[in-house]
Amino acid sequence: MIPSGLLGSSGVTQDPGSPADVLLVPELLSDPAAADLASAVIDTWEGMFGLSVSEHDEYAPDESELTAIVHISGDIEWAVVLRLPVSLARVVAGAMFDCEGSDLGAEEVTDAVGEVANVIGGVVKGRVAGHTTLSLPSVTEGRELRVAVPGTTVAAEYIGRCEHAPFSISILIRPAK
């Protein structure tokens, strides 16, 4: 059972009115789902960008962060939320564009972060039964942002470290009505 309110330490919250258990897809709320997300994250970061990642216990950036969200629509609604400090976003963008992250403008860094969320969203979409569509990513920047997608529950969360900076990826789910 997933409790209402703040989940983990990533700052992603669950709508207090949403159900604590999602009975439609209970396997997504189990430990294998978290392992599956961890595998997708590691494959994406290490395979696509050549960046090593490790699991971490807390997401607490000490600088401004970028937050990217992609939505997966179908019989069940999903969202993938990626949060990372701007300094790590620059490292990821540099790896994506094969250059120094400090040479990139804010728009290129934002695009790269949105693309990472999109790739992980594509992995989730590929594992969801039925017809689904993946939205374009939305990316925002700020400090200590509260991220909420009303009516959702956190199905899986991965908190990691890369280049000495924390990052968080959450998969949210809203059951069919």
Report the greatest alpha carbon distance in the chain. Answer: 48
Residue-wise pLDDT for 72-99, tens only, equals: 998 888 899 999 999 999 999 999 998 9
Domain harbouring 27, CATH code: 3.40.1550.10
Cα 14 to Cα 106, 146, 147, 168: the distances in Å are 30, 11, 9, 15
Tell me, what's the pLDDT at 34?
Answer: 59
- Given a cut of 70, whether residue 9 has pLDDT beyond it is no
Tell me, what's the pLDDT at 117?
Answer: 94
Range of the domain at 69: 5-174
Range 33-51 average pLDDT: 77
Percent of the chain with pLDDT over 70: 79
- Given a cut of 50, whether residue 143 has pLDDT beyond it is yes
* Beta-ladder partners of 158: 169
Range 18-41 average pLDDT: 49
- Given a cut of 80, whether residue 116 has pLDDT beyond it is yes
Q: What is the band of 10 on the pLDDT scale with cuts at 50, 70, 90?
A: very low
Which residue from 125, 128, 133, 96 is spatially nearest to 113, judged by alpha carbons?
Answer: 96
HEC sequence for 66-86? EEEEEEEECCCEEEEEEEEEH
How many domains, the chain? Answer: 1
- Claim: this prediction has a pTM higher than 0.75: yes
